[in-house]
């Protein structure tokens, strides 16, 4: 298999060199070229034919947003990962970039010293591998045929039907009506959530809580961007929010979220407790509280993401009779979190991304 060729576009020579050196030193990656702005990038793409582009947003002459608009107009089918700053302005522009077709974003090293880039080195390399490998798979005719066959099976499958687990299933209770939906998701999540939430029924009768691994400073703008395309109200969680039906609650960056049943209503709590599975927010923290307070009356969904966050406590929901779904391998950017949960036998049904919203809508409707 050939190395994934990476094009870096950033107006900072220091940043181009730092990230370029990181790409050249990483196994399975090669540096296709560098550009100082979107104009030069457009000129170089036909010559170097990169597999993936790392794109800065704030650049002279043609910035990242302008490039993405040209990319769309010219139908350039190359994945773009944004190099984003942590500033509020950076968060807003990053969400605009995702809406224009960027695949994902990575925090740009904030300082001018080389140590800072090592903090995000693993994330950059892993993200480039994830999206680059998907490009290779999409170009493989055998994968395309397999994907279409799998899609037909998913369309005809009963979303509530039980999937034979890879390992012996844990004992479980009987499922009841669904009063809450909880979603855990990571790498590949921003666009996957856009895909799912855009197709949720506009009369959806229960609250949806989402843990998306995302840095502090971005989740508020992320919630706003989802609110523009989702028929339901979407907001970043504030401590004490009442879990009203038909609303979507996004965990704030750097805070866990948990549900809590009060005498008159259920609320969502935020906390800065220790990281779980290396994350805050953590899907396992959310799933554990959903299992405790809603048990058999819950629907839990684990989607694309590296690692295993959520794969343990979704098993607690499963054991108590809650219904559990996992995104399938072909539609996952990184088949980590859903794979671990599925391999442990904690998943009722494996669903493609294209069918996830329909499955959620159907299960909740039938279980009300």
Among 85, 175, 186, 331, the one annotated catalytic: 186
Active-site residue identified among 56, 179, 284, 309: 309
What is the separation of C-alpha 47 from the centre of its chain, rounded to a whole number of angstroms?
Answer: 32
d(CA 252, CA 242): 16
Tokens 């034919």 belong to residue: 49
Residue 352's nearest CA partner among 323, 325, 320, 327 is 327
Is 195 among the residues known to form the active site? no
At 270 the three-state DSSP class reads strand
Report the candidate in 15, 61, 7, 54 with the shortest Cα–Cα distance to residue 37: 61
Distance CA 36, CA 5 (A): 18
Q: For this structure, is 238 an active site residue?
A: no
| 293 has catalytic annotation | no
Q: Which two tokens stand for residue 55?
A: 């794109």
How many CB atoms are closer than 10 A to CB 77? 9
Q: Which residues pair with 335 in a beta bridge?
A: 305
> What is the C-alpha R_g of the chain?
21
Catalytic residue selected from 84, 175, 213, 348: 213
Catalytic residues: 186, 213, 309
């Amino acid at each position: 298999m050939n190395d994934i060729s990476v094009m870096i576009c950033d107006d900072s020579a220091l940043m181009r060199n730092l990230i370029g050196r990181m790409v050249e030193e990483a196994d399975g990656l090669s540096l296709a070229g560098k550009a100082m702005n979107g104009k030069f990038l457009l000129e170089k793409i036909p010559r170097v034919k990169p597999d993936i582009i790392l794109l800065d947003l704030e650049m002279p002459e043609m910035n990242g947003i302008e490039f993405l608009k040209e990319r769309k107009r010219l139908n350039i089918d190359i994945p773009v990962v944004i190099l984003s700053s942590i500033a509020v302005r950076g968060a807003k522009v990053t969400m605009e970039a995702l809406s224009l077709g960027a695949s994902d974003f990575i925090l740009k090293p904030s300082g001018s010293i080389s140590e800072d880039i090592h903090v995000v080195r693993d994330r950059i390399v892993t993200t480039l591998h994830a999206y680059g490998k998907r490009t290779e798979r999409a170009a493989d005719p055998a994968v395309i045929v397999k994907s279409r066959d799998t899609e037909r099976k998913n369309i005809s499958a009963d979303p509530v039907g039980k999937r034979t687990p890879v390992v012996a299933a844990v004992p479980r209770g009987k499922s009841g009506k669904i009063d809450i939906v909880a979603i855990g998701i990571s790498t590949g999540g921003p666009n996957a959530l856009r895909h799912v939430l855009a197709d949720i029924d506009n009369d959806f009768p229960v609250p949806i809580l989402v843990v998306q691994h995302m840095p502090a400073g971005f989740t508020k703008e992320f919630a706003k961007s989802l609110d523009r395309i989702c028929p339901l109200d979407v907001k970043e969680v504030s401590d004490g929010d009442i879990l009203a039906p038909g609303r979507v609650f996004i965990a704030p960056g750097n805070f866990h979220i948990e549900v809590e049943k009060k005498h008159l209503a259920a609320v969502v709590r935020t906390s800065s407790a220790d990281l779980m599975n290396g994350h805050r927010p953590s899907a396992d923290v959310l799933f554990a509280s959903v299992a405790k307070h809603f048990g058999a009356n819950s629907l839990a969904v684990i989607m694309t993401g590296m690692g295993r966050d959520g794969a343990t406590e979704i098993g607690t929901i499963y054991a108590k009779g809650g219904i559990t779904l996992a995104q399938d391998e072909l539609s996952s950017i990184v088949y980590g979190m859903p794979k671990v949960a599925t391999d442990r036998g904690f998943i009722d049904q494996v669903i493609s991304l294209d069918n996830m919203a329909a499955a959620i809508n159907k299960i909740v409707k039938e279980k009300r």
